[in-house]
Structure 1
Amino acid sequence: MNKALWAALSVLLAGMLAACAPTVRPAGPPIAQTSLGNDAFYASDGTALAVQSWGDQETPDAVVLALHGMGDYANAFMEFGEQIGPAGIAVYAFDQRGFGRSISRPFWAGISSMVNDASDMLMLLRARYPDTSLYLMGNSMGGAVAIITAATRPYLMDGLVLVAPAVWDRDQMPWYQTAPLSVLSHSLPWLPLTGQGLDIWPSDNIEMLRRLSRDHNMMSAVRVDVIAGVADLMDLARSRATDITVPTLLLSGIEDQVIPPAAVAALDRDLVGLDLPAYHRCLYDDGYHMLLRDLNGPVVIDDIYRWIMRSAPDQNYSCRGS
């Protein structure tokens, strides 16, 4: 949609701004002990969130909790888990509230609920593996959740991995995108946005994209208020990134058509300025948004594996695929 149409849409819908507030379905009050089963993570409000895991579950060399992106679910890390799991890494992922197989789909859960879920899952994994290094990894929207979790609760993890993180805040967006979003999120929160016609390619792995299109656990459309919620999440993640203190690996692709490379570059500049222990950035010339599932995905995954398995935080490290 061009600027003129965005502007016209903003004017047309401005009068409807107060008609209907965005729907948020956060976690309920804590009524149960959190627990981790074979197929589900039971949150403090009793909600069961589907879990998938890969690799050595008994005596792993390291543990990774992975948070998926918008419209996706835990299976987003299938390729990652199948490649890195046999190498001695235990990988866990769960369907975040409002996505995948969660009972609150397709509603936005709110930032606090998502960060609390990630934190509770980290605590459960820390209790299960008290002497094993534990890493939080976030992909796209999950990267934004991971940033806030790391910034506010660094004691829960030994390191942070950000894969094409959603850090495109409103200050970096043109007005003709932010204005209609504000209006739509308050006036037509039920309106689904499919992304069709935007001519955006999230990956160069066409067969993988075709497979995902047939997966009913994927969300082919999301509500406008979910988009608004993700925009709020990106804003907060961008502002809290400067509070990160744990070792961090940032990975992104020059061909990313979902999160502008300039937005990730701005995050990189902030992280460099923090003088973090073991901070590295991997930038892939042929990388799209879905880095772990791109055709170059195996190389990206190997770069993450080598960073996790480095023998010391200050060990010399370089990305092989960038």
Structure 2
Amino acid sequence: MRAKITKFASGFLSRAARVLVPCLMLSVLWACAPTIHPAGPPIAQTELSATTYRAGDGAELALQTWGNLDDPDAVILALHGMGDYANAFMELGEQIGSETLAIYAFDQRGFGRSPSRPFWAGAYSMVNDASDVLAILKARYPTRPVFLMGNSMGGAVAIITAATRPHLMDGVILVAPAVWNRDMMPWYQTAPLSIISHSLPWLPLTGRGLEIWPSDNIEMLRRLSRDPHMMSAVRVDLVAGVADLMDLARIRASDIRVPTLLLSGVQDQVIPPDAVVALDRDLSALDLPFYRHCLYEAGYHMLLRDLNGPTVIEDIRRWVMGRATAENYSCAGS
């Protein structure tokens, strides 16, 4: 992993060097700063239609749903990862939606089909969006448990939301959460990110040359590479925003008080295992009700879409439905 990060850092810096010096000189004349497109002032009623979540500032974010939306046994609001969009939960929805569960997912600001793509919205706006949708779902299903699920970057948003608005959910599910905070990153990664996000915030970054496999499901990865709603490149200031989000998530994780399911893969090449181990240690110390960490030997970062995805999804269903015991989970864990 260290060799891969070093290769990334050197390649990233050499690519940026051609434009970094001119921009730093120009920054003396005018300030280059990360561009953030946060939510605007509240001017509209929050609302969920069949295909759209209308936020309080009037922004319309694409919505996807699966399962029994009329009378489910439980409800899940799912938050996708960086560069992804609501369709990240297609496999989950098709496998466990059926007549038992209702699953909702929307394109978070700056991603997918959202009007502010490709700009970072900020943690505050993302947590508020998740909270508003949870409030709507709580009102729509007053007698049913409502769970918040976050995948990767969405896991960081879910941690902060669970820590600050626990009354809006009956539990939180963290799927390979992005909790690699700056304190755990090497200096040669954090320093260039800080400098370039303020001098070249528009610089696009791709995953080319990283030699990192997010999943062992090659056919799925090929399909995503052709999906126009996926982001093959992101602005460097968006990456810096995600780093800020991960920092905050690690701080607020110790404030979680709701039932929690943590899912991670031994083969994850995106979020270092040490970061998840540290999160598990913090959550285990909280004596949370119904806490479990599921660790999958065959799991990569895209746990729900991996070849082992159906097994992971079935464990989620068991946990949500409250029928899981230590003996009938498919994963190793605590």
Distance in 2, matches of 1:242 and 1:8, equals: 35
CA distance in 1, matches of 2:330, 2:140: 33
What is the Cα deviation at residue 2 of structure 1?
Answer: 3.8
Structure 2 Cα separation of the partners of residues 48 and 89 of structure 1: 25
Aligned to 2:244: 232
User: How far apart are residue 319 of structure 1 and its match?
Assistant: 2.6
> 3-state DSSP class of the match of 1:292?
coil
What corresponds to 1:320 in structure 2?
Answer: 330
8 Å contact from structure 1 (residues 6, 180) kept in 2: no
> 1:271 is matched by which residue type in structure 2?
L
Encode CA deviations 1:79-105: one digit per residue, 9 max, x unaligned.
000001015010000000000000000
Which of 281, 298, 303 is the equivalent residue of 2:310?
A: 298
In the alignment, the residues of structure 1 paired with residue 13 and residue 121 of structure 2 have an alpha-carbon distance, to the nearest angstrom, of: 31
1:199-224 deviation per Cα after TM superposition (whole angstroms, max 9, x unaligned): 01000000000000010000000000
Where in structure 2 are there 5+ consecutive unaligned residues?
Answer: 1-5
Letter in 2 for 1:178: T
Match of 1:183 in 2: 195
Give the conservation status (yes or no) of the 8 Å contact 1:10–1:179. Answer: no
* TM-score between both structures, scaled by the size of structure 2: 0.92
Q: Does 1:260 align with 2:265?
A: no
Counterpart CA distance in 2 for 1:25 and 1:81 is 30
> TM-score scaled by structure 1?
0.95
Name the residue aligned to 1:5.
10
Aligned position for 1:97: 109
The answer to whether the aligner puts 1:288 opposite 2:300 as a matched pair is: yes
Q: Which residue of 2 aligns with 1:113?
A: 125
* Aligned-partner SS, 2:97: helix
- The answer as to whether partners of 1:247 and 1:278 remain within 8 angstroms in 2 is yes
2:288 to 271, 276, 281: 276
Shift of 1:6: 7.6
Alpha-carbon RMSD: 2.0
> CA–CA distance in 2 between the matches of 1:273 and 1:321?
21
Identity of aligned residues (%): 71
1:286-311 Cα shifts (integer Å, max 9, x gaps): 10000000000000000000001115
Alpha carbons of 1:214 and 1:8: their partners in 2 closer, same or farther (altered >3 Å)? closer
Report the Cα offset of residue 9 of structure 1.
Answer: 6.3
SS at match of 1:30: coil
How many angstroms apart in 1 are the aligned matches of 2:52 and 2:181?
A: 32
Cα distance in 1 for partners of 2:193, 2:60 equals: 31
Q: AA paired with 1:91?
A: I
Superposition deviation, residue 261 in structure 1: 1.0
Query: Would you say the 8 A contact 1:10–1:180 is kept in 2?
Result: no
* C-alpha distance in 1 between matches for 2:12 and 2:308: 39
Is 1:64 aligned with 2:76?
A: yes
Per-residue displacement from partner, 1:173-229 (whole Å, max 9, x unpaired)?
Answer: 000100000011001111100110000100000000000001000000000000000
Deviates more, 1:104-113 or 1:12-21: 12-21
3-state DSSP class of the match of 1:66?
strand
Q: Secondary structure at the match of 2:24?
A: coil
Alignment partner of 1:16 out of 20, 24, 27:
24
Contact 2:55 2:129 in 1 (8 A): yes
Match of 2:137 among 106, 125, 144: 125
How many residues of Structure 1 are paired with residues of Structure 2 in the alignment?
320
Task: Give, as a single letter, the amino acid of the residue that structure 1 aligns with 2:10.
Answer: L
Is residue 135 of structure 1 aligned with residue 147 of structure 2? yes
Select which of 158, 170, 177 maps to 2:170: 158
Q: Structure 1, residues 125-163: CA drift from partner, whole Å, max 9, x if none?
A: 111101000000000000000000000000000000000
State the alpha-carbon separation in 1 of the partners of residues 195 and 327 from structure 2. 46
